[in-house]
Amino acid sequence: MTDLFPEDPKERRDAAMKRTLERHGLWADKALAILYAFEKGWRGMGEDGRHIVQQHIGPPPDPHVWGAVWRKAVMAGYFRSTGQVRAPRDSQSNASKKQVWYRT
């Protein structure tokens, strides 16, 4: 397979997220800047962060962008899991419990 479609599922995920961030780079860069400016110690679910970001720059141009943006912020070490989970309050979320994060 080509690099565009790697065999390993994690590599496919990472490649898709990279393409999504590249395709919607302006919105993603603005969203990351807002996330990185969160006060240290902030706690919430990813959807809570999404709501704050959207108040500043509007919704993402593609629904997949948010997941890629949040993952990039987590992988960069700006957010860590508290080890807690809770039910989402957002009507757009499914009923599965979500991680609670804190800003490092």
Digit-coded pLDDT (tens) for 19-57: 888 888 899 999 999 999 999 999 999 999 999 999 999
Q: Is residue 99 very low, low, confident or very high in pLDDT (cuts 50, 70, 90)?
A: very high
CATH number of 9-103: 1.10.10
Digit-coded pLDDT (tens) for 8-25: 888 888 888 888 888 888
Sequence ranges of the domains in the chain: 9-103
SS3 99: strand
Number of residues in the chain: 104
3-state secondary structure 51-70: HHHHHHHCCCCCHHHHHHHH
Digit-coded pLDDT (tens) for 49-80: 999 999 999 999 988 899 999 999 999 999 99
Instruction: Check: CB of residue 49 under 8 Å from CB of residue 70.
Output: yes
**What is the secondary structure of 35-50 as a DSSP string?**
HHTSPTT-EE-HHHHH
